[in-house]
Amino acid sequence: MREKSDKQISIVVITKNEEKEIESFIKSAKQISDDIIVVDAESRDRTVSLAKSLGAKTFVKPWLGYGPNKNYGNKMARYDWILSLDADERISAEMANSIIHLQLIKTQIYSFKLTDHVGNRAVKYTELRAKWKKRLFNKLEVKWNDKIVHEQLSLENVTKTVKCEGRILHYSYNSISDLREKYKQYAFLGAEGMSTNNKTISIFKKYINPKWRFFRSYVIYLGFLEGKLGWDISKALHDMLQIKYESIEKFKRN
């Protein structure tokens, strides 16, 4: 039987129409925490009712952006130590065991490797190859910035980033079609953020950057070793940048 964590860690997740994921997420989170915080952006499905029935502290809050909604969840958490996860992420057994044995220090932040999946297939190559993600931190020292998308943690008070054993299992995309659709959403959100800040993209970047994104994913990050899946992921990354740049101009005209 796996050793149970006695550390005081809250797990915070933001949701929007995640009824297919929330039960599995909460069961996974309970491996290491008795304080699971769900900040829901006005879901129209059963996300909220399911989360409450499974014992998660659930708050409905209008969408203000990834960073602001996550920071709200941190404020609602019982404990100072926060493990920040997405609804489609799971804690592997090795990760849970690693957290149990950590010596937590307030000014340190803890990162774990994240493995993306398309369906049930773990992606080893392309731009979706495993990456280190900073996810465990003390909320008195660290918070999320206010970016609409691609939010980051402020690290001014952090003295060290500790790389931990065990992986976050990211069941990010049900299929390659699902991946393409989500990339479109990321493109629109990114374009909105850039247009709000009056950022412009040169013609050179509009032409070169999408092609470079494909080349980097498929060749430099060995996407070709994934076969057709590697091509499809790399092409979706190319298309995402194109959509983003086109959308920036549309937002400015409106």
Q: Is the pLDDT of residue 93 over 90?
A: yes
Is 14 within 8 Å of 47 (Cβ atoms)?
A: no
Mean pLDDT across the stretch 10-14? Answer: 98
Specify the CATH architecture of the domain 9-173: Alpha-Beta Complex (3.90)
pLDDT, residue 4, reads: 52
Share of the chain above pLDDT 90, in %: 82
pLDDT, residue 20, reads: 96
Structure tokens that stand for 193 in this block: 């953020």
Mean pLDDT across the stretch 167-175? Answer: 95
Phi, psi of 16 (to 5 degrees): -160, 105
Q: Is the pLDDT of residue 167 over 80?
A: yes
Distance CA 15, CA 47 (A): 8
Mean pLDDT across the stretch 180-191? Answer: 91
Q: Is the pLDDT of residue 2 over 80?
A: no
Q: Coil, helix or strand for 35?
A: strand
pLDDT, residue 244, reads: 92
Structure tokens that stand for 6 in this block: 């006695």
pLDDT tens digits, 116-160: 999 999 999 999 999 999 999 999 999 999 876 678 999 999 999
From the list 40, 33, 39, 28, the residue with the least C-alpha distance to 11 is 33
Q: Is the pLDDT of residue 23 over 90?
A: yes
pLDDT, residue 180, reads: 97
Dihedral sign computed on CA atoms, order 56, 62, 64, 66? positive
The pLDDT confidence band at residue 236, using thresholds 50, 70 and 90, is very high
Provide the residue ranges of all domains of the chain, joining segments of one domain with +. 9-173, 176-253
More confident residue, 222 or 2: 222
Q: Is the pLDDT of residue 220 over 70?
A: yes
Contacts of residue 212, defined as CB under 8 A and 6 or more positions apart, other chains included, come to none
pLDDT tens digits, 204-216: 889 999 999 999 9
The pLDDT confidence band at residue 161, using thresholds 50, 70 and 90, is very high
pLDDT, residue 253, reads: 66
Q: CB-side exposure of 244: number of CA atoms within 13 Å?
A: 25
Distances (CA, A) of 35 to 56, 134, 149, 245: 7, 20, 26, 41
Global pTM value: 0.86
The one-letter code for the residue type at 143 is: K
Mean pLDDT of the chain, nearest integer: 93
pLDDT, residue 249, reads: 76
The rounded radius of gyration (Å) of the Cα atoms in the chain is: 19
Q: Is the pLDDT of residue 1 over 50?
A: no
